[in-house]
């Protein structure tokens, strides 16, 4: 798969490109550092782009405006917003505008890569803080709510991160526990809900 990274900070962009190339799903990565260079790259590579990781703050324009522009011209483009902001209203605006994810730059690399894999697989990455934001009650999922489903506190925390699309490895990093412990919690959650996979677990929430 081919990914375009749009980011004006050279060191961050190159580090992200190197990390993405370690994923088995990613074969090539292109780079752009401005609205102008992004437009040029997209016009040249549109048919082979599988994902655009788009920085919100660019030197010659706004990433949100560019997102809307590209989705209007190429509705099938898969675009994820990358931002230093943790503003939940901005996150919601990006998702409403057609972004397939909003990834804060403070996100640990292991979690960021998990989010990218989710998006490449056709999912949408929603950062955990958006679930908890009062400004977006339709997405609010608290661990205590899962507790009402008969889950333990830790299982509820794991369940919330599963809903964010994180892998077992990323969940382990977030909760500072071992991956084996996460697997045990996931197994218990699946058994509790009488399903055999994460996909089946999330189907009711998407129906």
β-partners of residue 5 are: 31, 53
| Mean pLDDT across 147-176 | 77
When pLDDT is averaged across residues 18-24 and rounded to a whole number, the result is: 92
Query: 39-53, 55-69, 193-207: which range is least confident on average?
Result: 193-207
- Find the mean pLDDT for residues 7-34: 93
Q: Which CATH number fits domain 141-206: 1.10.10.10, 2.10.77.10, 3.30.70.3270, 1.20.140.10?
A: 1.10.10.10
Cα distances (angstroms) measured from residue 175 to each of 40, 141, 190: 41, 17, 19
User: Which of 21-25, 40-44, 129-133 shows the lowest per-residue confidence on average (mean pLDDT)?
Assistant: 129-133
Task: For residues 111 and 127, give the distance between their C-alpha atoms in angstroms, rounded to a whole number.
Answer: 10
Angle at 131 between CA 130 and CA 135, to 5 degrees: 65
CB 163 within 8 A of CB 202: yes
pLDDT above 90 (res 16): yes
CB 10 within 8 A of CB 33: yes
What pLDDT score was predicted for residue 2? 95
> For residue 95, what are its two tokens?
């998702």
Decide if 167 contacts 153 (C-beta within 8 A).
Answer: no
Task: Outline where the chain has alpha helix (H).
Answer: 10-20, 35-45, 63-73, 88-96, 109-120, 128-132, 143-147, 153-163, 168-175, 179-192, 198-206
pLDDT at 160: 81
pLDDT for 174: 82
Determine contact, residues 58/32, Cβ cutoff 8 Å. no
* Contact by Cβ (8 Å): 124, 96: no
| CA pair distance 129, 102, nearest whole angstrom | 11
Domain with CATH 1.10.10.10 in the chain: 141-206
Instruction: Return residue ranges of the chain for CATH 3.40.50.2300.
Output: 2-125
Rg for the chain, CA atoms, rounded: 18
How large a percentage of the chain has pLDDT more than 70? 86
The pLDDT, as a whole number, for residue 133 is: 60
Residue-wise pLDDT tens digits, 73-89 = 888 899 999 999 888 88
Residue 18 predicted with pLDDT over 50: yes
Confidence of residue 195 (pLDDT cuts 50, 70, 90): confident
Positive/negative CA dihedral, 101, 102, 105, 111 = negative
Mean predicted lDDT score pLDDT of the chain: 83
126-139 pLDDT per residue, tens: 887 776 664 334 43
Instruction: Measure the CA dihedral 134/169/206/203, to 10°.
Output: -140
Helix axes 168-175, 179-192, angle to 10 degrees: 110
Mean pLDDT of 154-177: 82
Fold of 2-125: Rossmann fold (3.40.50)
């Amino acid at each position: 798969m081919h990914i375009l990274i749009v980011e004006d900070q050279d060191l961050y962009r190159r580090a992200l490109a190197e990390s993405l190339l370690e994923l088995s799903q990613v074969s090539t990565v292109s780079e752009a550092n401005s609205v102008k260079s992004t437009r040029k790259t997209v016009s040249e590579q549109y048919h082979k782009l599988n994902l655009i990781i788009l920085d919100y703050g660019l030197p010659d324009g706004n990433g949100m405006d560019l997102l809307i522009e590209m989705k209007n011209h190429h509705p099938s483009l898969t675009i994820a917003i990358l931002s230093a902001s943790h503003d939940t209203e901005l996150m919601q605006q990006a998702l409403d505008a057609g972004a397939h994810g909003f990834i804060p730059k403070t996100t640990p690399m292991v979690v960021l890569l998990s989010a990218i894999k989710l998006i490449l697989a056709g999912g949408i990455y929603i950062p955990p803080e958006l679930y908890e934001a009062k400004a977006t009650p339709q997405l609010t999922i608290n661990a205590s709510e899962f507790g009402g489903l008969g889950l333990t506190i830790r299982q509820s925390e794991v369940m919330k991160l599963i809903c964010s699309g994180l892998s077992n490895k990323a969940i382990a990093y977030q909760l500072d526990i071992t991956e084996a412990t996460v697997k045990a919690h996931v197994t218990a959650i699946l058994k509790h809900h009488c399903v055999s996979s994460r996909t089946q677990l999330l189907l009711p929430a998407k129906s």
